[in-house]
């Protein structure tokens, strides 16, 4: 404990001491012996001084010993949404809930250099203040921005900001641009090559070859058109992903209608449609796009002798849409990546079938906008099933004004 400083003279209890002196004078007039009067006055004034001095000494001790309270600081950082550490010198005196969740509760009391264990972080801890970027702090691919801020000569705060998601988004955008550029360049190169050959006055091309070249140019141009349309569709869906659709739509009725159109085009033996009435809240155009994309995918990869199965089943709280093909199936290693943009299990076969590599990515984003769930199951040699689950609307409440059902 810090030794109390001497009491300043202006802090003495002068009013009480004056009363003690007056009382002594009264006792003297009353004939009390002077020695006894002096003793009483001294004891009285001394007790007054000690009674008032003790609180002053205690407050002074608290202020001198703890300019910044550790408990107060720990309570202040606890509600922060980002991980924050409080350092007492180089030791972690406190960590908020976010920091304990990321780094573990055991870090409290440890030397910060041991707890963080990274050269970049140790360099920061050796400095009084500053910031660094630390890679691999909480995982192999994690990226954290670490900043140290001094509070006083003893305490400092360490703030950790997770930049992993930002880096992932940036990397995804870079990959997307690279993939889109490649996908656009391939049909363009093919179109330009055939057109240049056809336009060459020195090229001796017979009618059959010329017709084949024109057919190839037309096919590649349509492929390019489909790719641009899918890219624009994906862009629109992502722009609207935070807006919950508001129309009431009978998913079973829509699936039956689309299935009937497909059957009229490819033949009744190529598609089996079974649906229940199931009203969901959704965007009519996007739900139509989901069903058509899934049917188109299944038709491309299904056994030509087996029908594609389109079903809508009404559950207790959800409408379940399934599209099943009876093709070669998909290896389990590919399934987690199927909804990535431009991902193909067999690039050559997909391009030959006219696929853009964006169909399932579009379906996934539409399902996410509708707050639904998407599952893909497949067995090699048996086939693949894509399942979409959307929340049913309580029809007892009735359709809201201005919303279509059907």
What is the DSSP secondary-structure string of 131-189?
Answer: EEEEESSSSTT-EEEEEEEE-SSSEEEEEEEE-HHHHHHHHHHHHHHHHHHHHHHHHHH
Q: What is the pLDDT along the chain (406 residues), one digit of tens a residue?
A: 444 444 444 445 556 566 666 666 666 676 666 666 666 666 655 555 444 444 434 433 443 444 456 666 677 777 777 888 888 888 888 888 888 888 888 888 888 888 787 777 777 777 777 888 888 777 777 888 888 888 877 888 888 888 877 766 666 666 667 677 777 888 888 889 889 888 888 878 888 888 998 998 998 888 888 888 888 888 888 777 778 888 899 999 999 999 999 888 888 788 999 999 999 999 999 999 999 999 988 888 888 888 899 999 998 889 999 999 998 888 888 888 888 877 777 665 555 555 677 888 889 999 999 999 999 999 998 899 999 999 998 654 444 433 344 4
pLDDT at 142: 80
The whole-number pLDDT of residue 44 equals 59
The reply to whether CATH 3.80.10.10 applies to domain 70-162 is: no
Q: Which pLDDT does position 401 carry in this prediction?
A: 37
> Which DSSP helix (H) or strand (E) runs through 94?
strand 91-95
Instruction: List where CATH 3.30.450.20 sits in the chain.
Output: 70-162
SS3 322: strand
- Where exactly does CATH 1.10.287.130 map onto the chain? 167-239
Distance CA 63, CA 304 (A): 86
Q: Which fold has domain 247-397?
A: Heat Shock Protein 90 (3.30.565)
Tokens, residue 279: 């009203």
**Closest to 364 in 3D by CA, of 347, 387, 382:** 387
330-347 per-residue burial string, b: 16 or more CB within 10 A, e: under 16: beeeeeeebbbbbbbbee
In the chain, residues under CATH classification 3.30.565.10 are: 247-397
Please report the pLDDT score of residue 30 as a whole number: 65
d(CA 351, CA 338): 15
The highest-level CATH class for domain 167-239 is mainly alpha
The Cα–Cα gap between 88 and 94 comes to: 9
- Which candidate, 319, 17, 349, places its Cα nearest to that of 9? 17
CA distance 46 to 369: 80
Residue entry with tokens 């009264």: 26
H, E, C per residue of 169-183:
HHHHHHHHHHHHHHH
pLDDT of residue 295: 92
Q: What is the pLDDT of residue 290?
A: 92
Q: How far is CA 171 from the centre of its chain?
A: 15
């Amino acid at each position: 404990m810090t030794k109390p400083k001497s009491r300043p003279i202006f802090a003495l209890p002068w009013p009480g001491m004056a009363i003690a002196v007056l009382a002594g004078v009264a006792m003297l007039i009353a004939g009390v012996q002077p020695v006894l009067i002096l003793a009483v006055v001294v004891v009285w004034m001394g007790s007054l001084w000690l009674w008032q001095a003790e609180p002053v000494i205690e407050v002074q001790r608290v202020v001198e010993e703890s300019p910044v309270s550790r408990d107060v600081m720990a309570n202040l950082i606890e509600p922060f949404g980002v991980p924050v550490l409080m350092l007492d010198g180089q030791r972690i005196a406190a960590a908020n809930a976010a920091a304990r969740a990321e780094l573990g509760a055991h870090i409290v009391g440890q030397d910060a250099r041991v707890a963080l264990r990274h050269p970049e972080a140790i360099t920061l801890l050796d400095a009084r203040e500053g910031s660094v970027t630390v890679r691999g702090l909480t995982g192999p691919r994690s990226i954290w921005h670490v900043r140290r801020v001094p509070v006083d000569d003893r305490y400092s705060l360490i703030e950790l900001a997770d930049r992993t998601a930002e880096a992932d988004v940036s990397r995804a955008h870079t990959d997307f641009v690279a993939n889109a550029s490649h996908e656009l360049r391939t049909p363009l190169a093919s179109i330009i090559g055939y057109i240049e050959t056809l336009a060459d006055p020195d090229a001796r091309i017979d009618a059959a070859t010329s017709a084949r070249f024109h057919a190839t140019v037309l096919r590649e141009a349509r492929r390019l058109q489909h790719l641009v349309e899918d890219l624009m569709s994906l862009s629109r869906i992502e722009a609207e992903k935070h807006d919950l659709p508001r129309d009431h739509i009978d998913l079973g009725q829509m699936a039956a209608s689309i299935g009937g159109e497909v059957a009229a085009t490819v033949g009744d033996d190529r598609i089996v449609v079974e649906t229940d009435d199931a009203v969901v809240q959704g965007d009519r155009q996007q739900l139509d796009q989901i069903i058509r994309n899934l049917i188109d995918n299944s038709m491309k990869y299904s056994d030509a002798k087996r029908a594609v199965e389109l079903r809508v089943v009404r559950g207790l709280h959800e409408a379940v849409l399934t599209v099943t093909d009876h093709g070669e199936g998909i290896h389990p290693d590919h399934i987690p990546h199927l909804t990535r943009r431009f991902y193909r299990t067999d690039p050559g076969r997909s391009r030959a079938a006219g696929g853009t590599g964006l169909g399932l990515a579009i379906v996934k984003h539409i399902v996410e906008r509708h707050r639904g769930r998407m599952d893909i199951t497949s067995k090699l040699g048996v086939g693949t099933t894509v399942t979409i689950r959307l929340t049913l609307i309580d029809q007892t409440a009735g359709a809201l004004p201005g919303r279509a059902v059907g």
